[in-house]
Amino acid sequence: MLINLETDNSSIKRMIEPYIRIIHNQVDNCNHITRTFLYNENSYQNINLFLYLKSYLYDYYNSYNYSIQFDREKIKEYAKREFIIRVPRNIIYFKIILDNIFKNAIFHSKTDGKKGVILDFDILDGNKTCRLEITNTADMNIRSDSSSRLLKISQSHYVGMELISKLCSKMEFKWNLVQNSDIITFELEIPLVIDGNLESSIDGFYV
């Protein structure tokens, strides 16, 4: 049934007016969301890397019930030292990178992801870079294509690695995938913008 919105029939007008208001409100909401997304797309924020990682890892375990081994005391110590990174205000990009790295490691792990994924991390280059290393034991072979930096993985559809590559490029992260026998390590190097310091005062987004 088609309704003429320009009708002079008052009863029809009363019937359709609530729906017109709903549509108008939804258009306004969509406009607001689009403007917010475009703003977030091109603006950045500072976050405490290890505070975010600590929260992320605990949330990951609670959500997926996968045990990722890491040094809890070390990550707490590093969080206190406030190693800061610069990420898009839409922090979901950083989360997507981590999600794909850990999900790939868990999916291809010989131990079905229960005990086979290990996270290690260190600060390099005089506190200018943080390197994360995610290691798992897997039944697969990889080879790196240095020209495109996309990995040809025999048991993958490449989508996750391509997404990681594009987002890392956008955020100026460096990454590499190394295989030694059946041990596979994903290396992610993240530039630090502020040296860790208990006295530093950062008005950033802390997760």
3-state secondary structure the chain: CCCCCCCCCHHHHHHHHHHHHHHHHHHHHHHHHHHHHHHHHCCEEEEEHHHHHHHHHHHHHHHHCCCEECCHHHHHHHHHCCCEEEEECCCHHHHHHHHHHHHHHHHCECCCCCCCEEEEEEEECCCCEEEEEEEEEECCCEEECCCCCCEEECCCCCHHHHHHHHHHHHHCCEEEEEEECCEEEEEEEEECCECCCCCCCCCCCCC
CA–CA separation, 11 vs 9, rounded Å? 6
Tally the residues of the chain.
Answer: 207
pTM above 0.75, yes or no: no
What is the structure's pLDDT at 139? 64
CA–CA separation, 16 vs 10, rounded Å? 10
pLDDT in tens, 167-203: 899 889 999 988 888 888 999 999 998 654 433 333 3
Are 136 and 116 within 8 A, CB to CB?
Answer: yes
CA–CA separation, 141 vs 98, rounded Å? 22
CA–CA separation, 190 vs 53, rounded Å? 13
What is the structure's pLDDT at 33? 61
What stretches in the chain show pLDDT beneath 50?
1-2, 113, 144-157, 196-207
